[in-house]
Chains A and B, each alone.
Chain A
Amino acid sequence: MAVIECNDVSIRYITGDFKSIGLKEFIMRKLTNNFHVKEFWADRHVTFTIEKGDMLGIIGSNGAGKSTLLKAVTGIMLPTGGHIKTNGRIAALLELASGFDPHMTVRENTYLRGAMLGYTKEFLDEKYEEIIAFAELEEFEDYMFKQLSSGMKSRLAFSVACLVNPDILILDEVLSVGDGAFRKKSGDKMMEILSGGTTGVLVSHSIEQVRDLCNKILWLDHGNQIAFSEDVRLYCDAYEEFLFTKELPQNDGDIERLAHNFGVRMEEERKRNEEQEVDRLERILEEGHSDAAINAAIRVLQKGRPEALIDQYR
């Protein structure tokens, strides 16, 4: 059974209507027949289906419509066209740190946010310590929220949101929260949730993450769906080549070609790097003064490129 089914979804924003110009301008322009709105399609005809246990990666450059699409999936927005069906309880982590009350304490904010995410009071009473411990905020429980550093804020937001085991987990650029240690911890937590059979949707600018975590991929560009596929590797390759050349693929042939070019380019780059490395090592051999450096360089070269070593060192 499909867990998320997006059928021909389009989402339109309207700009330049009465909100931005005020009531007076609105009436004036209406009267003079000078009232125009501009349309902006954040998403156009997006169609995809994911099953239980799938992990979908959504890629695309800034303004591709990724976050807007997620808002529609979580039910915050109603699509202008098409329809979305979801099965199960959704936990969405979108731009985490916003929406907290700066004048309330960490404790109060934890409860308030928990309540918004649909937890019960008993559940929160039970999990509260765990949430604070995971966010590493034990010493800050009674601080005002605004007194926290921005890293701490995101950590709290992440901890509150991740303690449930949802059926569908939606992640918008949240695996890059906090410092290195916390990032690792949150990544592990994510993996733990996902390995429990949760269906996930991940928006990330880190292609490596998408390669590692996802088994389906959706590529958006300026609201248009470029591809939806299970061949994550191929499309990641093509996408990275697209980021390099800015050439948008028109058909499957283009995708193949882009992915191929990417492979070629990567191979060239690898060779170039290797050569640079060898050059560097050889310089050490020729000009190096310390025995330790020379010995180390010899060892590295023996391992990687024995043919580059001249006979006397072999």
Chain B
Amino acid sequence: MLSKTIKRVSRNMKENAFLFTELVNRDFQQRYKRTVLGMAWSILSPLLQLLVMMVVFSHMFGRGVEHYTIYLFAGNITFSYFSESTNNGMRSLMENSAILSKINVPKYLFLLSQNVSALINYALTIAVFFLFCIGDGIKFTPAFFTLWYPILCFVIMNIGIGMVLSALYVFFRDIAYLYRVFLTLLSYLSAIFYTIDSFPATFQRLFLLNPVYVNIKFWRLVVLDGIVPSAMYHLLLAGYAVLFLAIGAFFYKKFNHRFVYYF
């Protein structure tokens, strides 16, 4: 059944490849419509965020952490990507309701296109991140080649979470507010600006329940420690990706045909 679904989705994707590129194009354009700096904001806004966090946190949490700027930056861009892609994913169906209730097109295309445009944004910030690494004297090791792995797992997981949220958002508009609060909470629990070394070992293990933390940790192990993370990290990331995609697919399949009644 799974292979059948994959076959159907890939056939749909092929048929709708043109629509998909048009949608990505539109989503990406919409983002910076009427801004003077346009795409430069993709780079500027994480930099400004980094600056603020540096000012606030470097004295409190930065002592004793080598390359604190990079430490902070790695957490920041990863979390920003997570927050953006899931937030946009959540709204993707509702915002296109006028189209979806008039034209018969696969609904997930709208979710995927939002994810792709968030991913392009993420890629830009990663490029800046590497520039900072060079500036801060980070040694580029072969371990860097494993970085495609957390990105891929993250993309899959975000799509899954987007599926769940977009379905819920059609039914409960309240989800948007709840999710915002949840994201704030999650950002504090993701050790973006502090280290978890001072916590007891058992407590430290609880952090592994947070997929965003695991992803950030993966990046830090590669970039700051120059090592390839253990199999556990690999498995955890893949596990979260598959888990959320499965939940998302379940939600989507269950509610797919009911969305249109609620637009």
Q: Mark A residues whose CB is within 8 Å of B.
A: 13-14, 18-19, 22-24, 26, 71, 74-78, 90, 92, 94-95, 98-99, 101, 103-104, 108, 111-112, 115-121
- B23, B26, B29: residue with the most chain A Cβ atoms closer than 10 Å: B26
B121 to chain A, nearest CB (A): 19
- Let me know if B103 and A92 touch, CB within 8 A: yes
- Let me know if A76 and B33 touch, CB within 8 A: no
Pick from B23, B30, B104: contact of A103, CB below 8 A. Answer: B30
Could you write out 22 A-B pairs with CB less than 8 Å apart?
A13-B261, A14-B261, A18-B171, A23-B175, A71-B101, A76-B100, A76-B103, A76-B260, A77-B257, A77-B260, A99-B102, A99-B103, A101-B30, A103-B30, A104-B29, A108-B26, A111-B22, A112-B23, A112-B26, A116-B19, A118-B19, A119-B18
Q: Mark B residues whose CB is within 8 Å of A.
A: 15-16, 18-19, 22-23, 26, 29-30, 33, 96, 98-105, 170-175, 178, 257, 260-262
- Let me know if A94 and B102 touch, CB within 8 A: yes
Alpha-carbon distance between A18 and B255 when the two chains are bound, in angstroms: 15
> B101 contacts which chain A residues (CB < 8 A)?
71, 76
Alpha-carbon distance between A95 and B100 when the two chains are bound, in angstroms: 12
> B171 contacts which chain A residues (CB < 8 A)?
18-19
- B98, B104, B172: residue with the most chain A Cβ atoms closer than 10 Å: B104
> A13 contacts which chain B residues (CB < 8 A)?
261
Alpha-carbon distance between A276 and B16 when the two chains are bound, in angstroms: 63
B29 to chain A, nearest CB (A): 7
A24 to chain B, nearest CB (A): 7
Pick from B26, B103, B105: contact of A101, CB below 8 A. Answer: B26
Majority secondary structure of chain A interface residues (helix, strand, loop or mixed): mixed
Contacts A76-B102, A103-B33 given; 12 further ones with Cβ under 8 A?
A: A19-B171, A23-B178, A74-B104, A75-B104, A78-B257, A92-B103, A98-B98, A98-B102, A112-B26, A115-B23, A116-B19, A116-B99
A183 to chain B, nearest CB (A): 21
- Let me know if A115 and B257 touch, CB within 8 A: no
> B173 contacts which chain A residues (CB < 8 A)?
19, 22
Closest 9 CB pairs of A and B: A23-B174, A115-B19, A99-B99, A78-B257, A99-B98, A115-B22, A75-B104, A23-B172, A98-B98
Alpha-carbon distance between A26 and B33 when the two chains are bound, in angstroms: 37
> A24 contacts which chain B residues (CB < 8 A)?
174
> A78 contacts which chain B residues (CB < 8 A)?
257
- Let me know if A117 and B103 touch, CB within 8 A: yes
> A119 contacts which chain B residues (CB < 8 A)?
18
> A75 contacts which chain B residues (CB < 8 A)?
104
- Let me know if B105 and A116 touch, CB within 8 A: yes
A178 to chain B, nearest CB (A): 19
> B262 contacts which chain A residues (CB < 8 A)?
19
